Amino acid sequence: MSNAPFVAPRTVGSHVALFVAAVAVLLPVIWVVAAGFRTQISLLTGEFLFAPVPDNFVEVLFSKTSDFLINYRNSLVVGIISTILCLGVATLAAWSLHRMRWPSWVPHIFLAWALIFHMIPPITLAGAWFTMARTVGLDNTLSGLILAHTVLNLPMALWLMAVFVRDVPKELEEAARIDGASTPVLLWRVVLPILTPGLAATGILTFVFSWNEFAVALNLTSKQTATVPVGIAKFAQDFEIQYTQMAATAALSMLPALVLLLIGQRYIVKGLTQGAVK
């Protein structure tokens, strides 16, 4: 009589579905990375077996005609600063909505408006932002793009931080008040340490969305202020598409977001599921 453990068909089906989903996600990434190590002829002729060459990466990183490192710097500056602004504003707003004595309808209206704004396609706002930025002298500047990305990602950050702030025990805040803590001290010494997982999850997602944003960056930047997605798109010219260089830049552009996601994946899952199950 066999002692092999019984595996339910549902479990097998779940594992097969997860495997198929993983292949569907990873296969395009692997193809792009592999294309970065191919020559243009090898890629266009569809060779299955090829000899990897580093020429494309050397070209985009060290060529005098390449602006990729400038694009990388711009994306890092815009992503980091806009993320910090989003975290600061979203945390204070979430704490205000859940702790200050607002009428009950105010938080609902405010959060509903944030959700509706987040659903608006960013490209529909790019023209108005370009006009406003040009009026105040922020067109083709990193400052203008930072403000735009802050506005774009603030609704998502507010919703995530609202979930974490709501779950902070009120008893801790009341005890701090009894001990004479002012509001800034209460937020810094009591609330923020508890919100660390939420800040990490929200910060990672906000940075990734800022790093990947294309439509608004395309309209608000110039050659010297272009971000990585805009820089990648410029490899497609009217008479030539540099596929392999584009693939190399795409592969390099994955690194910051990939590192952050690997480091903070548990915080992201917690941030997205917090409050779903009590």
What's the whole-number average pLDDT of the chain? 86
Report the percent of the chain where pLDDT is more than 90.
34
- β-strand partners of 236: 241
Q: Quick one: pLDDT band at residue 274, thresholds 50, 70, 90?
A: low
172, pLDDT greater than 90: no
- β-strand partners of 241: 236
- Our measurement of the distance from residue 126's CA atom to the centroid of its chain's CA atoms, rounded to an integer in Å, reads 19
207, pLDDT greater than 90: yes
| Cβ pair 125, 196 in contact under 8 A | no
Q: What is the pLDDT of residues 222-263, one digit of tens each?
A: 888 999 999 998 888 767 888 899 999 999 999 988 888 788
Q: What is the pLDDT of residues 97-129, one digit of tens each?
A: 888 888 888 888 888 888 888 888 888 888 888
pLDDT recorded at residue 49? 82
| Cβ pair 221, 227 in contact under 8 A | yes
Higher pLDDT, 104 or 20: 20
pLDDT recorded at residue 277? 43
116-122 long-range Cβ contacts below 8 angstroms, 24+ apart: 117/155, 118/155, 118/156, 118/159, 121/215, 122/152, 122/213, 122/215, 122/216
If DSSP codes are grouped into helix, strand and coil, which group holds residue 41? helix
Distance CA 233, CA 85 (A): 27
Distance CA 156, CA 207 (A): 12
pLDDT recorded at residue 79? 95
Query: Domain 66-273 has what CATH class?
Result: mainly alpha
Q: What is the pLDDT of residues 44-63, one digit of tens each?
A: 888 888 888 989 999 999 88
Domain residue ranges in the chain: 66-273
What does the pLDDT average to over 11-22? 86
Higher pLDDT, 72 or 276: 72
Distance CA 158, CA 200 (A): 14
Distance CA 229, CA 212 (A): 6
| Cβ pair 86, 154 in contact under 8 A | yes
Report the percent of the chain where pLDDT is more than 70.
92
pLDDT recorded at residue 92? 92
